[in-house]
Structure 1
Amino acid sequence: MNAPHPSHAPFAHLAGKRVLVTGATGFLGRHLLPQLVAAGADVTCLTRASSRTDHLPQGVTVARADLATGDGVAQALGGQDILIHMAALLFGLNWQDYLRANTVAAQHLAAAIMSIRARRRALPRVVLVSSLAASGPADGMPGRNDEAIGAPVSAYGWSKYLVEQILGRAAGDKLVVLRPPIIYGSGDKGLLPVFRGIQKGVAALPGWKRPFPVSVVHARDAAQAILLLCRKDAHGVYHVNDGAQHTMRAFYEAAAQALDARPLFIPVPVPVLGMTALAATLWTRLLRRLRRASGDRAPNWNLDKYREARHAGWLCDASRLCQELGYAPTMSLAAGMTEAVNGYRAEGLL
């Protein structure tokens, strides 16, 4: 299943298109931008003034704007054919964190889109990278499908679902949504603690005597799906995965194999998961209150992530993406883990 990188013919629809990307300096952006450039798109990355941009691919333009305040957003979006919105807060301590970051950014983008509509200009196609968290959990095959009503169980999931509604009201049928499951690959700081734990010989499994089935996708294939959603015939909500069902243990075992590690797998009962998440959340809140924290970032494991982990599984169905748009995953779990580990090592993170 470790096929060569997909040819650029399926992405001919992007040749010459002006594409504005938010969240481009993050993990997924490093896998998406090279594919956009190779497809012939004229790419602009919307970044804050404080963001590093020296690692962006050659030929990419930078537009300085602030999604938190809206400054510069309308100017950056003007004249673009496609908006790919990936910027999002992944780890928050409470509902306010997610609402402040994710939905406020969506409101500013929606205002910019409505301004274009008011001037009777052509609206850009809006490709939103949402999350399976907006669909809700599922522990049986084939998992959550594209027609299922959103049923989030976490603040993060609800914030992503609200973003879909906000942009949908502004962009109408110009909006198309991708709801990916766990995305992994080189450059991902969210799963880095898991890889480090496995390297040290410990892997904690969510729940006692339960398989916890999950869908996953490598960032390279998630990027492929985003490019396909830029097509004019893409519509509605799509899910994406690597074409297989996994358990969380199998996911960790693949990471261990790539690391050449032999970790001890420790099943953690759901109540214990809740207590550890509560402790991590309360400790960070205390640090915030005492102003000892170096920033507002929440720990990777917190109460909101526990709200997702306490469910029996997270599966999704990518069949419509495959049938309608020709999506075909290129990275097996083993190959994807090797790419991720090699990337972490190249950056000195493992």
Structure 2
Amino acid sequence: MSVFLTGFPGFLGSALTERLVARGSDVTCLVQPKYRRTAERRAREIERAHAADGEVELVGGDITEADLELGEAVESLQTDTEAVYHLAAVYDLAVSREVGMAVNVEGTKNVLDFADGCENLRRFQYVSTCYVSGRYDGTFTEDHLVEGQRFNNYYETTKYLAEVAVQERMESGLPGTIYRPAIVVGDSETGETQKYDGPYYLLRWLMRQPGVAVTPVLGDPTAYEVNVVPRDFVVDAIAELSRLDESVGEVYQLCDPNPLTVDEMLRAFGRATGKRVVRVPTPKGALKRVLSRFPELEIEPATLDYFDHPTSYACENTVAALETATDGEIQCPAFGSYVGNLVSFVREHPELTPDAMV
């Protein structure tokens, strides 16, 4: 199959491209010029590992441009493309409205327009996020989207608007499938990640302290869930579900069906780092002001909203489809089974930052 993919050489895009090439697909990756060198290196690694399988081709472009900045190459790419995998987005809780709208919303609409021009298109695969839920109060299912929810930040808002645009095209006949990952962390086997954000702010805060680690908590930490999934589960799930004819028109929430509470995550991080964690109840507003005033604490203030998050996520559709497709071989592992690998990777790679690819 000929695949057109955005989001390479990003965290998920790189791993998914390797899965697609391994099963014989030829993948054309849209790459921003500033990431060209990294993309070339990653493409060579994939092709060396899968020399007898599919191929990786890189084309320069930008999803924020109406023609993806492909110029005369657009028509030939549209003729050849059978599947579009759209992963490119700004994964940054502190993204400005202007950048979020340009990349996440208008960029998605431009990729949708590209897909509409693919005469042999069999599927449009779109990676959204569970957090299109905003601060929905209750259990957010795979059937939910427009629920009058309010949002924590422009990342959530713009990903929500992007998914609305995708679902509108699907209702008009686009053969699409939507995947909503929860909070994605490193590989469950190796701990590998591309940047330290989300739960890593908490982990690194604990790791910088002595044996007794003091951490602020918001409200009742036993009352709020933190839904975390490792990269390999997300990529494996997308790779398998995207092969199914019956997944056309479906929405899959790629989340942990048994998520930890904030308190349980603190316990897990404490065990994995050898720290005794002391919890100090703190008002969120005051804590946000402190983190904003002292950036040397290295914690993004917007992250706090996910430690008193009122939403739970249901993934019955995902669990059932993966059970049928893989006989239960692909399922989200328990956080406790791989947290030690995440910690080991952070210890071995202190040079990584929280910076997102934009």
1:54-93 correspondence runs (5 A):
54-56=41-43, 57-59=45-47, 60-69=56-65, 70-72=68-70, 74=74, 76=77, 78-91=79-92, 92-93=94-95
- Asked if residue 236 in structure 1 is aligned to residue 250 in structure 2, the reply is yes
**Aligned with 1:55: secondary structure?**
helix
1:1-350 correspondence runs (5 A):
17-51=1-35, 52-53=38-39, 54-56=41-43, 57-59=45-47, 60-69=56-65, 70-72=68-70, 74=74, 76=77, 78-91=79-92, 92-116=94-118, 121-137=119-135, 143-150=139-146, 151-154=149-152, 155-170=154-169, 172-185=173-186, 186-189=192-195, 190-191=197-198, 192-201=200-209, 202=213, 204=215, 206-211=217-222, 212-230=224-242, 231-234=244-247, 235-276=249-290, 279=293, 301-303=300-302, 305=303, 308-309=305-306, 311-326=308-323, 328-349=330-351
Change (3 A) 1:21 1:335: farther
Distance 1:310 1:245 in 2: 13
**Aligned with 2:240: secondary structure?**
helix
**Aligned with 1:97: secondary structure?**
helix
- Misfit runs of 4+, over 6 Å: none
Distance 1:72 1:236 in 2: 30
**Aligned with 2:144: secondary structure?**
coil
Larger RCO, structure (CA 8 Å, separation 6 or more): 1
How much has 1:96 moved relative to structure 2? Answer: 2.1
How much has 1:223 moved relative to structure 2? Answer: 0.9
TM-score by length of 1: 0.76
In structure 1, give the amino acid aligned to 2:207: Q
How much has 1:346 moved relative to structure 2? Answer: 4.4
How much has 1:333 moved relative to structure 2? Answer: 0.8
In structure 2, give the amino acid aligned to 1:39: R
Contact 1:221–1:242 (CA<8 Å) still a contact in 2? no
1:160-180 alpha-carbon deviations (Å, 9 max, x no partner) = 121123234445341211112
**Aligned with 1:104: secondary structure?**
helix
Contact 2:227–2:260 (CA<8 Å) still a contact in 1? yes
**Aligned with 2:42: secondary structure?**
coil
**Aligned with 1:21: secondary structure?**
strand
Distance 1:203 1:127 in 2: 43
In structure 1, give the amino acid aligned to 2:162: V
1:265-294 alpha-carbon deviations (Å, 9 max, x no partner) = 4443222244346657xx9xxxxxxxxxxx
Change (3 A) 1:50 1:94: closer
Change (3 A) 1:38 1:348: farther
Contact 2:18–2:46 (CA<8 Å) still a contact in 1? no
Change (3 A) 1:31 1:115: closer
Mark the runs of 5 or more structure 2 residues left unpaired by the alignment.
48-55, 187-191, 353-358
**Aligned with 2:313: secondary structure?**
coil
User: When the two structures are aligned, how many residues end up with a matched partner?
Assistant: 309
**Aligned with 1:250: secondary structure?**
helix
In structure 1, give the amino acid aligned to 2:9: T
> Structure 1 vs Structure 2: percent identity of aligned residues?
20
Mark the runs of 5 or more structure 1 residues left unpaired by the alignment.
1-16, 284-298
* C-alpha RMSD over aligned residues: 2.9
Distance 2:9 2:275 in 1: 31
Contact 1:32–1:220 (CA<8 Å) still a contact in 2? no
How much has 1:245 moved relative to structure 2? Answer: 2.3
